[in-house]
Amino acid sequence: MIIEPKIKGFLCTTAHPEGCKVEIARQIEQIQAGGKIDQVPQRVLVIGASGGYGLATRIAAAFGGGAKTMGVFFERPAQKGRTASPGWYKAAAFASAAADAGLYAQHFNGDAFSKEMKTAVIERILADWGQVDMVVYSLAAPARTLASGETVRSVLKPIGSAFSGATIDFKTQEMRSLALEPASEAEIAATVKVMGGEDWEDWIEQLESANCLSEGCLTTNYTYLGSEVTWPIYYHGTIGRAKEDLDRAAGAINERLRGNGGRADVIVMKGLLTQAASAIPGMSVYLSLLFKAMKAAGTHEGCLEQVERLFRTQLFQTNQRRDGAGRIRMDDWELSEEIQAYVKSHWNEITQENLDQLADFAAYREAFLNLHGFEVEGVDYDVEQNPDVPLALAFG
């Protein structure tokens, strides 16, 4: 079949297998071109390994550092007449590239919050590795089913007062105003339950109980603080409350790891267009402004560039760039005075008429299509595709 993007709201309901494959091959080539990354732990578990920051981390660990990896994700294979999710195609592309390179890689498809998934991963670690040296928690999930069977959902809403802003419609490129009522206490609590640190702690606790954590084991979780202009909807909103909980969880995990010399790090990454980020209200305007300013300054990075810089200059070094809360900061270029001055001065000025001059919505749109394997350089989109791409799973 010929596969084209089908866009509905902030979602694209199709994905292109060859586009995803070419994009992953390009990223692998890029990380290898920078030379071997020193000190990368050699047995790495990535939870949330099929998209955005988690996938970039897996690529950097495996193809930059030569690590064996296990990847957990929740993706949809192709079904009658429907393409697979982009993460499925990307995980499959990673799997075949790893096999070609002789790199150990196992893939677990299903709900990372569940007991079954944790048990499956632990059994595989015990059987194949004995222990794990690094656990990367990079989940971005809309909902979590608790052990009781109850499902709680995260919401992206302000806290305390209503939010009004603008968003850009993908299809029509029209700017629309956006109004959101403040979240209820129950919605705040549900968002913390889904996107806070509890499940990260559960993973570490269960890995530790099974004696799966190696001496000096490192565990990381990615967070976002962002610019003051997005604070009402992000940092001071429900998702920010969940992110605050990561700092608490990191403290608790650090206590737990004290005995074996391990460490839990919360790492502040820059704002980027990923599947998860595309759902955040108002992010299209902010990221379009950010792309414009950072591209002009020559400091624009994608997920892979962020993770590569983290791996090469921070995470495995002794002198890290940490803030008062102990987090490693990779958002330094995004929050630089020059970039933020541009974003802040234009945030309230942006209109339909000046959108293309002040912001780079074209780059935002391209990044969104690339995420789904579309508009990838070197891919002939007139060639028929088989949407059924196999992926051998250890679980799922």
Q: Classify the C-alpha dihedral 60-276-136-20 as positive or negative.
A: negative
Angle, CA of 34, 36 and 39, to the nearest 5°: 130
CB of 57 to ligand NAD, least distance (A): 9
How many whole angstroms separate alpha carbon 333 and alpha carbon 6?
34
| CA 285 to chain CA mean position, Å | 20
CB of 140 to ligand NAD, least distance (A): 3
Say if CB 106 and CB 128 are below 8 A apart.
yes
Strands (E), 93-142: 105-109, 132-137
Would you say 105 or 277 has its CB closer to ligand NAD?
Answer: 277
Strands (E), 74-196: 105-109, 132-137, 143-145, 151-153, 163-168, 175-180
Would you say 133 or 334 has its CB closer to ligand NAD?
Answer: 334
CB of 50 to ligand NAD, least distance (A): 4
Exactly one of 53, 89, 234, 286 is catalytic; name it: 234
Binding site for ligand NAD (CB under 6 A): 48-54, 72-75, 87, 111-113, 138-141, 222-224, 269, 271-272, 274-277
Closest residue to ligand NAD using C-beta atoms: 52
In sequence order, the 6+-apart residues with CB closer than 8 A to the CB of 23 are 90, 93, 370, 373, 376
Which of the 8 DSSP states describes residue 264? E
Would you say 1 or 11 has its CB closer to ligand NAD?
Answer: 11
Active site residue 137: no
CB of 2 to ligand NAD, least distance (A): 26
132 three-class SS: strand
Would you say 19 or 52 has its CB closer to ligand NAD?
Answer: 52
CB of 247 to ligand NAD, least distance (A): 13
Output the CA torsion 237→239→244→246 (10° steps). 180
Would you say 40 or 330 has its CB closer to ligand NAD?
Answer: 330
Active site residues: 234
